[in-house]
Amino acid sequence: MDRTDLTLIIGSALVVAVIIGWTVRWFFDRMNTTGPMASDEVVARMREAEAAQAAAEAHATEIERNARNSESQLHAELEAAMTGLGNARRESEQWRTEAEAWRTEVEELRGH
| Cα separation, 36 vs 42, whole angstroms | 10
Residue 40 within any structural domain of the chain: no
Please state whether 35 falls in left (phi above 0), alpha (psi between -120 and 50) or beta: left
Query: Along the 112 residues of the chain, how does pLDDT read in single tens digits?
Result: 789 989 999 999 999 999 999 999 998 888 776 665 567 777 888 999 999 999 999 999 999 999 999 999 999 999 999 999 999 999 999 999 999 999 998 888 887 6
| Cα separation, 11 vs 27, whole angstroms | 24
Query: How many domains does the chain fold into?
Result: 1
Residue span of the structural domain in which 20 resides: 1-33
Burial class of residue 60 in the structure, from the number of CB atoms within 10 Å of its CB (0-12 exposed, 13-18 middle, 19+ buried): exposed
pLDDT given at position 44: 87
Instruction: Specify the pTM.
Output: 0.47
pLDDT given at position 34: 62
| Cα separation, 11 vs 6, whole angstroms | 8
